[in-house]
Structure 1
Amino acid sequence: MSRARPTRTTNPIHFEDLDPKRFEDLIRELIYDFRDWQTIEATGKGGGDDGFDIRAYELATTTTIDDDGNEVVRPMDGYAWMIQCKREKAIPPSKIKKILEDIAPDNPPYGYILAAATNFSKKAYDTFRDELTKLGVLEFYLWGNATLETELHQPKNDRILFTFFGISNVLRRRSRATEIRSEVTNKNRVMRVLGDSPARSWILLQDSKDRHYPYESKYTDFAERPRWKGLEVVELHPRGVIVSMKRCYAYFDESEKTFDLAEPPIVLRNPYDRTRDTESDREERKKLDLVMDYWERLRQKNQAMYHLNGIIRYEDMLVIDDKGDSWNEVPHIFVDYVDGSPVSGTLAFLEKGKREIGLDGFSREAVFPKSFPEPEFGKIYDEEGLALPQGLCEQYVNFRGGDLDKLFDVDGRFAHLKPSDVAVVRFGQKDDRFVQITHRYELSGDDLLRDHPQMVWQVKQHIGRDPLADDVIQILECRSCYKHQWEGAH
């Protein structure tokens, strides 16, 4: 789907927003669980810190035997650690050397931590390790932004993260759990409202910011930016409700990878909408009739339907009103419209028969005119019915054989019919059924048998025998039509 909404991510923690003393407090809080300490001293707080900010002594014990031969655990002086805190944006290797000059070579600490609000380079790490190894420090750690963020995002440090930055992963997880519960609740409610077969159901999508429904006249730009919209449901998706945003008559050439769509789009009328049919609605339908007439005259292999579907995600549904109202007796769903649209993503494709054709790799080329001509009709052959087998005539007149969209001729019986001409199908006392020829072309029997096996049975029904390889088959594409369409034009 296009126009997807942004993915939610965790932003970097802004250590630079802390003043230097507050940054020291943060590091001191983080080291409490780093070792089992005897004492931790904030030596930098008083100002005379002898070059470092925090001094700590790791708890150490020794086991001795008393006079009665029992083991006794006795405390002893712990291992000394120096912790230096630098809230600086950059610390190059030369600066690291300068910082480490505060360590007395004749009395180095057991351990050393340099914590800084920056990202260290490989060379900085190498310099830090080499210098401390030469000084005889046994354990040392260089904490930069990445290390500090990792520590702060651990569940045990959530209190520290919240205290210093107002961020809580625990609260965020609780919030996410609330979001999931809301999403599941919306999904289950929609499924109950629309039922197991929601296709062709209707919903009204209302902008949560609107306060004037159902009066469109309150908005001068309602046509361009509607605040509510009735849409037909296509299906229920695991993430939301798929709705039909737009349908158009379309042209496509599969071999050339081109397509075009005709405007105006097909008007899908909400059967539950009680608003009155306006003059503009009637004018739109007249335009659409001309579009359909033009489209039906295209070669059948080039005819397709354009679909633009959208998704209403369950997580974006703020309120679901399953009753609707007297003006729109369908479920109302309240969402935040974005750029005048209620959907969070769209998908466009072409439909050809039972096939769905994605538009990746297709380019749009103009085929349809900007204004569509009035329907044209050639000669009307309504005195004698088409020379078709009686079984076919009965099927077509009684609408039991599907649409009559092709005629097949191998002996010249339809030689008189040209594109735009009208012929009639008759059977007994039933009402006549009229067809208009839209295209005429020929196909060899060899090509038919090799490339169009799906058409072989149709040809056999029309000519009364199996088609042969040496046949020349005239194919007349046609469409249904009605007397009122040409009466008065002749």
Structure 2
Amino acid sequence: MVAATRTLNPLHFEDLEPKRFEDLIRQLVYDFKPWRRLEATGRAGSDDGFDARGYEIVETEPPSASETDDEEVTVVGSGDRLWLVQCKRERAIGPTKLLQYLNEIRLAHGEVLHGIIFAAACDFSKTARDRFRHQCAAMGLQEWHLWGKAEIEDRLYRPENDGLLFAYFGVSLTIRRRSQRTELRAKLAMKRKAIRLLESAENSTVLLRSPDATTYPDHEEILNFDKQPQWFVRKYLGLCHDGLEFLTRRHFAYLADDEEIWDAMFCCNEAINLGGETPWPVPQIDSAIRAEALRVWKQLPAENRVWLDVVAVIPFESILDIDDIGDEFVSDPHIYVPFNGESGPFAHACGRIARFTDWSGPHHWIQDEEIHRVDKFPAHLRHRPVSQS
């Protein structure tokens, strides 16, 4: 199983104050055209229906020597194109309201409007976009752009606007990529360390320890240690694509000749005592129940007699460190990893049927314990005890 990939949530433009939303749009517009001047008219309080006025530079002929001394030339060129920017921080704008905003635009005498950018913190319907386009054409505009929520987000996610994304929403894709790079490097470093330190421990036992278990090996200091231990020994199987694999449960099982139909006796877990003697208690298997299960299992034909192994994974990124030396209580390697409730240090688990006569051969994986399962064994042996680890 693959962990879900983390993604960015939608940006909440509605949380910005109206003037801050205007500032954001104006700053996004800075690189939209080569502006000679971009004015924040909306902040003056009387905006004539728009929030910013821009003069796009349109070079025709180079200015003469006498004109270069004219201050007005550097402010507004004779060929500059007038743009208006209108911002609405509203949750919804329908076609009628959108056209109303266009009709409210007022120009000074002699001004010719070349283009408009209408930006809003909402999504626009196809009807609204069509009517906007027709109205702008009817007004004699040469260019028009309708920026809804999606268009604004697209612009903010561009690398050149990462500073705006962080300033207004506290999100930085650059920082996020750096964080991902750091996490990936740590994950790969732990993978290489595990390969180096645990090579000789493969198919042997290791001790899994919580870094919070400061009373180790004194289990009596931990409440409910028998149900939620903070350290225990498990068989280490090796590496997989996303972490270290461990044998957490092993049950007497049946696999039909078609290698689809199966059943297992979950009454006793053969994996919990693989670590041998330890200074702390481990869950005990009822000897009478185990003897009965073993007897029933051995009555099966040899070709149908299998183990059901439940294999669990500890992700590389969860491992804090590995001590390959061990101590006087457990000489096996110690793996330090946070424990989380009943699942302990494991991220996920999956059933795997292994043939009793061939441990090294291919395994039959069970993704769902109930698929193709039949009532092959007695009912009281098929179910896992609540108290069993």
TM-score tier, shorter chain, comes to 0.7 to 0.9
Q: Distance in 1 between matches of 2:63 and 2:54?
A: 29
**Which region of structure 1 is more displaced relative to structure 2, 106-115 or 8-17?**
106-115
Q: CA deviation at 1:156?
A: 0.8
Picking from 146, 149, 157, the partner of 1:145 is: 149
- Pairing 1:50-199 to 2, within 5 Å after superposition: 50-63=48-61, 76-77=77-78, 78-104=80-106, 108-195=112-199, 198-199=201-202
CA 1:108–1:368: 2 relative to 1, 3 Å: farther
User: Can you list the C-alpha shifts for 1:48-88, whole angstroms capped at 9, x where unaligned?
Assistant: 11111111111222215969xxxxxx762311100000100
Q: Distance in 2 between matches of 1:192 and 1:284?
A: 39
Aligned to 1:265: 269
Aligned to 1:357: 364
Q: 1:273–1:327: 8 Å Cα contact kept in structure 2?
A: no
User: Can you list the C-alpha shifts for 1:174-199, whole angstroms capped at 9, x where unaligned?
Assistant: 1111101111111111111112x543
CA 1:364–1:230: 2 relative to 1, 3 Å: farther
Aligned to 2:21: 23
Amino acid at match of 1:215: D
**Which region of structure 1 is more displaced relative to structure 2, 8-17 or 100-109?**
100-109
User: Can you list the C-alpha shifts for 1:428-462, whole angstroms capped at 9, x where unaligned?
Assistant: xxxxxxxxxxxxxxxxxxxxxxxxxxxxxxxxxxx
Structure with more contact order per residue of length (Cα contacts < 8 Å, sep ≥ 6): 2
Amino acid at match of 1:356: H
Amino acid at match of 1:363: R
Q: 2:251–2:264: 8 Å Cα contact kept in structure 1?
A: no
Q: Distance in 1 between matches of 2:375 and 2:276?
A: 37
Tell me the secondary structure at the aligned position of residue 326 of structure 1.
Answer: coil
Q: Distance in 2 between matches of 1:38 and 1:276?
A: 78
- Pairing 1:309-458 to 2, within 5 Å after superposition: 309-341=311-343, 342-352=345-355, 353=358, 354-359=361-366, 361-365=371-375, 367-368=377-378, 370=380
Q: CA deviation at 1:234?
A: 1.1
CA 1:267–1:357: 2 relative to 1, 3 Å: closer
CA 1:277–1:59: 2 relative to 1, 3 Å: closer
Q: 1:194–1:201: 8 Å Cα contact kept in structure 2?
A: no
Q: Distance in 1 between matches of 2:229 and 2:278?
A: 18
User: Can you list the C-alpha shifts for 1:85-127, whole angstroms capped at 9, x where unaligned?
Assistant: 0100111111111110123598551110011111111111111
Tell me the secondary structure at the aligned position of residue 311 of structure 1.
Answer: strand
Q: CA deviation at 1:297?
A: 1.7
Aligned to 2:209: 206
TM-score by length of 2: 0.84
Q: 1:203–1:331: 8 Å Cα contact kept in structure 2?
A: yes
Q: Distance in 1 between matches of 2:91 and 2:230?
A: 48
CA 1:199–1:290: 2 relative to 1, 3 Å: farther
Q: Distance in 1 between matches of 2:335 and 2:106?
A: 71
User: Can you list the C-alpha shifts for 1:258-304, whole angstroms capped at 9, x where unaligned?
Assistant: 423242111454557642778x74x6456434422321122334321
Q: CA deviation at 1:245?
A: 1.1
Q: Distance in 2 between matches of 1:234 and 1:201?
A: 7
Q: CA deviation at 1:322?
A: 3.0
Structure whose residues are more often strand by fraction: 1
Q: Distance in 1 between matches of 2:280 and 2:12?
A: 58
CA 1:114–1:329: 2 relative to 1, 3 Å: same
Aligned to 2:255: 252
CA 1:277–1:111: 2 relative to 1, 3 Å: closer
Tell me the secondary structure at the aligned position of residue 24 of structure 1.
Answer: helix
Q: CA deviation at 1:345?
A: 1.6
TM-score by length of 1: 0.68
Q: CA deviation at 1:257?
A: 2.3
Aligned to 2:219: 216
CA 1:165–1:346: 2 relative to 1, 3 Å: same
Tell me the secondary structure at the aligned position of residue 61 of structure 1.
Answer: coil
Q: 1:262–1:368: 8 Å Cα contact kept in structure 2?
A: no
Q: Distance in 2 between matches of 1:17 and 1:307?
A: 52
Listed as ranges, the gaps of 5+ residues in structure 2 are: 66-72, 383-389
- Aligned identity (percent) is 34
Q: Distance in 1 between matches of 2:374 and 2:302?
A: 19
Q: Distance in 2 between matches of 1:253 and 1:186?
A: 40
Tell me the secondary structure at the aligned position of residue 309 of structure 2.
Answer: strand
Q: Distance in 2 between matches of 1:246 and 1:230?
A: 12
Q: 2:247–2:271: 8 Å Cα contact kept in structure 1?
A: no
Q: CA deviation at 1:16?
A: 0.9
2:43 pairs with 1:41:
no
User: Can you list the C-alpha shifts for 1:308-340, whole angstroms capped at 9, x where unaligned?
Assistant: 101111111123333332222222222233342
Amino acid at match of 1:172: R
Q: 1:108–1:135: 8 Å Cα contact kept in structure 2?
A: no
Q: 1:198–1:236: 8 Å Cα contact kept in structure 2?
A: no
**Which region of structure 1 is more displaced relative to structure 2, 119-128 or 262-271?**
262-271
Amino acid at match of 1:57: Y
**Which region of structure 1 is more displaced relative to structure 2, 85-94 or 250-259?**
250-259
Listed as ranges, the gaps of 5+ residues in structure 1 are: 68-73, 373-490
Q: Distance in 1 between matches of 2:48 and 2:281?
A: 87
Tell me which structure has the larger Cα radius of gyration: 1
Aligned to 1:453: none
Q: Aligned-pair RMSD on alpha carbons?
A: 2.6
Deviating above 6 A after TM superposition, structure 1's stretches of 4 or more consecutive aligned residues are none
